[in-house]
Amino acid sequence: MKTRTTLYATALAATMLLLASCSDSNDSAAPAATTSAPASTTAEEPVYTAEDCKELLEKNYAEDNVHDASDEAPCIGLNNDEYVAAVGDVLANHKDDILTSAANEAVYDTAWDSVDPDTQQLICDTMIEEGIEPVAGLLDITVEDPSVDTSEMAQYLFDSKC
C-alpha cells in the first residue's frame, strides 16, 4: 500500500511541477492577434487550435522531448488555462506509462542505493567501458522479479547514475 501511495504521490508531484512550469504569475491570456494583416504581406499566418498544440505536445512526448512548449507556434495563441488543459490531456493519455515508469525508477533507485559506493563506481566503469549489456546480464541473473526489464534498468542506471 505504501508503494502505491508513494507512486501516486510521485506521479502527482511530477504533474504538478509540469503544470506549475506552464503557468505564469498573473494567469493572463496571451495577447490577442491583430485582426488585420499588414498590407505588404500576401500570405496569412496559420491559425492554430488547442488540437494543434496537443499534436505538438504529443509529438514531443513521443520523441522524449518533454518541455514547456507554450511559446511555440501551435501553442502560443492559447491562454494559460487552454494550454494547461492541453498538457493535462496529453499527460492523461500517457498516465499508465508515466506511472509504470515512475514505479520502475523507484525500484531501480532502491536497488542502486542498496549497493556500496565502490560497487556503484565499478558498475559505472563497466558500463562506460563495455556498454550496458554486461551489467544487464548480471542483473538478469541477480534480479528475482521476472517483470523487471534488466536492460531497461541498466540503461536507466547508466543514464541517471553514471
Q: pLDDT tens, 22-76? A: 444 444 444 444 444 444 455 677 889 999 999 999 999 999 999 999 999 999 9
Output the DSSP codes for 91-139.
Answer: HHHTHHHHHHHHHHHHHHHHHHHTS-HHHHHHHHHHHHHH-SHHHHHHH
Q: Residue 155: is its pLDDT beyond 50?
A: yes
pLDDT band at 158 (very low <50, low <70, confident <90, very high): very high
Mean per-residue pLDDT over the chain, rounded: 80
The burial class, CB within 10 Å (0-12 / 13-18 / 19+), for 33 is exposed
Cell numbers that stand for 129 in this block:
567501458
What's the pLDDT at 16?
37
